[in-house]
Amino acid sequence: MSTTADELREEVRRRYAESARAVTAGHSCGCGSGSCCAESELGEALYDAEQRGELPDAAVLASLGCGNPTAVADLHEGETVLDLGSGGGIDVILSAKRVGPTGTAYGLDMTDEMLALAQQNARDAGVTNVHFLKGIIEEIPLPADSVDVVISNCVINLSTDKPAVLTEMQRVLRPGGRIGISDIVAEDRLAPHERAERGSYVGCIAGALSKGEYEAGLEAAGFDRISVEFTHEVADGMHGAIVRAVKAGGPERRGLPIVTPAERAGCC
């Protein structure tokens, strides 16, 4: 019998709740079988020593991602950033430090245990410009045109409704806003059943989009300047990837458009 979308989501929630409890109990990483870092040899190693030094130990131990989206997104003072699937809060805390006291960093997660861990990590890090929200990434609990940057770290591949996620990202971004995402992405040659042969759904492999599917999905959702760049192979034909795009409707800029709060206010 096939697994339903609700059953897959519950499996993901359960696995990441276990990871959060492991870190809270003082164990390393929490990478139980099925977590992203366990199957793909990912996690805290993708952050440099300087970044890890800015974080509480528990935030570093709870890193289960496949990249470093705060580096990908090129954050600026005063921006509003949203991290989809924020987990233990590592990328939210780093984002909050980058955007400074005039900016805001939101973290969205569906797992109570991860939200509690992230809130404690933010307190331990001494950052106050953060807000953690409970919800699912297919239904972001923020208004339209309210965010400058959306980041995510190895989470979109876990969604059971990826078109909804891409549409929601476009909705909450301001015109000219951008995404900077780390994710697992398949080569176009791999059919869905071939991706499933290489790893589990909760391990960020079976549910991954192909490069072409990602590009087409972002275009359909209303994004411009789409780029899906492979960075490292995690299984045969499966790669960690950097995904960038810009919400249509912003001003034309050379390279990747970056619309800062000062520019929106008309500051010269």
Domains in the chain (CATH in brackets) are 5-264 (3.40.50.150)
Task: Give the pLDDT confidence of 51-87 residue by residue, as tens digits.
Answer: 445 544 444 444 455 567 777 788 999 999 999 999 8
Task: Give the pLDDT confidence of 162-175 residue by residue, as tens digits.
Answer: 999 999 999 999 99
- Look up residue 259 and give its two tokens: 């619309």
Per-residue pLDDT, 67: 61
Task: Give the pLDDT confidence of 206-256 residue by residue, as tens digits.
Answer: 889 999 999 999 999 999 999 999 999 999 999 999 999 999 886 543 333
Average pLDDT over residues 117-129: 92
Task: Give the pLDDT confidence of 195-217 residue by residue, as tens digits.
Answer: 999 887 777 788 899 999 999 99
Three-state secondary structure of the chain:
CCCCHHHHHHHHHHHHHHHHHHHHCCCCCCCCCCCHHHHHCCCHHHCCHHHHHCCCHHHHHCCCCCCCHHHHHCCCCCCEEEEECCCCCHHHHHHHHHHCCCCEEEEEECCHHHHHHHHHHHHHHCCCCEEEEECCCCCCCCCCCCEEEEEEECCHHHCCCHHHHHHHHHHHEEEEEEEEEEEEEECCCCCHHHHHHCCCCCCCCCCCCEHHHHHHHHHHHCEEEEEEEEEEEEECCEEEEEEEEEECCCCCCCCCCCCCHHHHCCCC
Per-residue pLDDT band for 14 (boundaries 50, 70, 90) equals: confident
